[in-house]
Amino acid sequence: MISPRWHLSLLLSLTLASAPGWAAGGNETLFNFVKPMAVVTVDTAGADLPSTTAEATPEGEILRRVNFSPVKQPTLRLAPASGSWDWSQADSMSLRIQNAMDWALTLEIDIEGVDGAPGLHATVALPAGPAQTLLVPLRPTAPEMFGMRAGVPMPFNLGGQRLLLATRVSGELERSKVGAVKIYLSEPKAAQDILVGRFGTRAGGGELQKAYSGIIDGFGQASRGDWPEKVKSAEQLAAAWKAEGEQLQKWQRDPARYDRFGGLLGGPAFEASGFFRTEKRNGRWWLITPEGHPFWSLGVNTVNAETSQTYVEGREYMFASLPRDGEPLAAFYGQSDDRRGVGAQQGRRFDHGRWYDFYAANRFRANGGLDSDVAVEAWRERTLQRLTGWGFNSLGNWSDPAFATAQRMPYSVPLSISGDYATVSTGYDWWGAMPDPFDPRFAMAAERAIAIAARDHREDPWLLGYYADNELAWAGHGDSPQARFALAFGALKLSTDSPAKRAFIKQLKDKYKEHEALTQAWGVPLAAWEDLDAAGYEAPQPNEAHPAIAEDYSAFLRLYADQYFKTLRDSLNWNAPNHLLLGARFAVSTPEALASCAQYCDVLSFNLYVPKPQLGYDTDYVRSLDKPVLISEFHFGSRDRGPFWGGVAEVYNEQQRGESYQRFLADALKDPQIIGAHWFQYLDQPASGRLLDGENGHIGLVGITDLPFGRFVDAVRKANLQVEKVVLEEAKAAADVAPEAPTKDADNQDNQQDDANAAAVQ
């Protein structure tokens, strides 16, 4: 229960000179915690104002302390003593505020409407340090509106003022009827204090656009802030690039310790098949090189010089320096369009038009303006030197296809299947709806994609294998039955033009024969089978009273997954019988999809963004499937090297990135199913957002200037070299033990039995 703490009076027109950084002109002060004299209600719940007087900050500013207790939602609430506030002429709510702790706090702010009307919500990171003016825009805003995943760092300095602007505000608000403002913390573990002063509104300042102005310098780096690898001149860039080349020469590995494909010598020899394969021995799964040596795949995704462009058209004000047409660096402009309508692009502006490639421009600067073809070859050579010098042995997904012809590092190929086949929505749909594998057009599209992918690689021993697409929407968000069985719900909502819906209904008819039996099993009214045919059919939620609902949904999920994976496997066995099918790069999954993938693929692959692999999936269930596991994506990002987003798995700083990488690999090695881990990705994403979806994370080994992040790379190299030692020791222990699982060749011989088993499912 929120109980009134004060009823205070304050003259609405106050002199503003005593508040540092407060500018008059269209602004209104509603309340002052230091000299309360207005009719404003201040309520607290799980919070307190422990002193009746204000206090001086180290900088000499006078502010009032608020203490938040360690409860579920300690709250400070400000409201007019009667009626509501009319903020129709204002652009933002303002509050003079300071963090009284030595660490950052996360504040939740609600600006409420009247009588339950909608309001706005913002989450603000309040850093330790001096006071600033917090501004919350009074309309929805998000970094995506400026073309990027994460917004510019806060606070920032504007005209001598330290402003903390909420860059993501959700909801809607009738600004003429504002009921209250709530400031709260979510379940603090210990008591936390802030200091507050003047509270009111601000109008006409244009702070939001000013916050994004000039945020990218001429090298594509964030212009605000500094870090050890930040480049200040072309001369510095060229000198650093040269010095790194000398270091890499010292780090190149001893070829006598490896076979031609990077397999570890000095240990046992396994059977050499001429291609990469998997084998289980002594309780551990192994990748085996074509020459028959153990290989734990340490890879990097997106080793590619063509994925660092960023849109500039329409937001040129964000860039402090762009080359003029006709200048040498203007060669790195281009045009593109990323309006594909998938979930990853929703709400984003600046998604088409003219782009600029700062990464290519910086390589041009670093190598003295070499001819473009020569420069690309120089980049590939330097990149391979880096990867091998840093202890990597594999090229992950989406890497430059030209590396395949170099025959210096094993690589993988994605099966990017596209076509006009039907789809099914699960509501997740981040990269689009699920392909409908029951549509004959999907089988044709898969055959075409696989034939093209295999055309140049059919006999290439350097190929690790093929991925079965990427991060498909096998389930919805969360752990609810709606999410778990999202494919079943999605299929039944469609019309009977949907091959997936027809397959589902056939499955139900085969089981129940008569519609009355389904009516009883599901507990729903059905006058005839045709009742299921209606588009928009609302399938029942699973419940304890009718366990058959969940059983039938599960059976359909397995049928769906079997149709999908069997289609791919059959085509791959025809077009590329010697290579591995590396699984589906699961970001979301269901037990049925995992079981089917284990049956038809050689490897289970997961894209995981967790502190250790075992937290990314049900390890007991995956262990029961008895298939090797490849971590096809993982990373740890931070916000202290320029780009504004900390990635999917964010840590505090660069040092923690390295420590997290080392722990992740150590935990992966402890799992006998895991045969490798691939970092995402080689390069930082552009601070202003990549073309595809505006992602702008510091997640790379290398920055936009083509210089490595030294401290992080050192930690990565140390961890990678330790992997080799552990793998070699375990390989020696397995030397005299017979294989426990079939090789790829034996798998191919068993395909007919697998198909028979799949047909018997359900």
Report the CATH number that the domain containing residue 141 is assigned in CATH: 2.60.120.430
- Domain of 517 in residue numbering reads as 496-552
Q: 204: number of CA atoms within 13 Å, CB side? A: 7
Give me the helices (H) in 367-459, please. Answer: 372-389, 402-406, 440-455
Residue 570 lies in a domain: no
Looking at the predicted structure, is the pLDDT value of residue 82 above 90?
no
Nearest to 13 by CA among 34, 30, 35, 36: 30
What is the model's pLDDT at position 7?
35
What is the model's pLDDT at position 341?
87
From the CB of residue 377, how many other CB atoms can be counted at a distance below 10 Å? 13
Query: Taking residues 490-518, what's their average pLDDT?
Result: 97
- DSSP code of residue 459: T
Residue 282 lies in a domain: no
CA distances from 457 to 415, 460, 577 (A): 13, 5, 11
Residue 320, Cβ density class (10 Å: 0-12 exposed, 13-18 middle, ≥19 buried): middle
Which two tokens mark 737? 């033990």
Q: Which of 50-59, 281-290, 463-472, 482-491 has the lowest mean pLDDT?
A: 50-59
Distance of CA 44 to the CA centre of its chain: 37
Which two tokens mark 84? 């509501």
Query: Taking residues 324-349, what's their average pLDDT?
Result: 93
Q: 430: number of CA atoms within 13 Å, CB side? A: 13
CA distance linking residue 399 with residue 408, whole number of Å: 14
Looking at the predicted structure, is the pLDDT value of residue 18 above 50?
no
**For residue 681, is the peptide bond before it cis, meaning its omega torsion is within 30 degrees of 0?**
yes
Contacts of 417 (CB under 8 A, 6+ apart): 435, 442, 445, 446, 449, 469
What is the model's pLDDT at position 742?
60
User: Does pTM surpass 0.95?
Assistant: no
Looking at the predicted structure, is the pLDDT value of residue 110 above 80?
yes
- DSSP code of residue 140: -
CA distance linking residue 502 with residue 524, whole number of Å: 20
| Contact assessment for residue 633 and residue 607, using Cβ atoms and an 8 Å cutoff | yes
Query: Among residues 183, 211, 239, which one ends one of the domains?
Result: 211
Nearest to 135 by CA among 172, 166, 170: 166
Residue with the two structure tokens 């046992």:
268
What is the model's pLDDT at position 189?
95
From the CB of residue 71, how many other CB atoms can be counted at a distance below 10 Å? 14
Contacts of 663 (CB under 8 A, 6+ apart): 611, 612
Residue 159 lies in a domain: yes
Residue 144 lies in a domain: yes
Is the dihedral angle over the CA atoms 310, 315, 319, 321 positive or is it negative? positive
What is the phi/psi pair of residue 354, to 5°? -80, 135
Query: Among residues 187, 211, 235, which one ends one of the domains?
Result: 211
Residue 165 lies in a domain: yes
What is the phi/psi pair of residue 182, to 5°? -110, 135
CA distance linking residue 612 with residue 659, whole number of Å: 12
Nearest to 288 by CA among 280, 298, 278: 278
DSSP-assigned beta bridge partners for residue 133: 96, 163
Residue 122 lies in a domain: yes
Number of domains the chain contains: 2
Is the dihedral angle over the CA atoms 755, 756, 761, 762 positive or is it negative? positive
Residue 79 lies in a domain: yes
Q: Which of 100-114, 571-585, 603-617, 739-753 has the lowest mean pLDDT?
A: 739-753
Query: Among residues 523, 552, 581, which one ends one of the domains?
Result: 552
Higher pLDDT: 33 or 214? It is 214
Residue 272 lies in a domain: no
| Contact assessment for residue 314 and residue 350, using Cβ atoms and an 8 Å cutoff | yes
What is the model's pLDDT at position 749?
43
Average pLDDT, the chain: 91
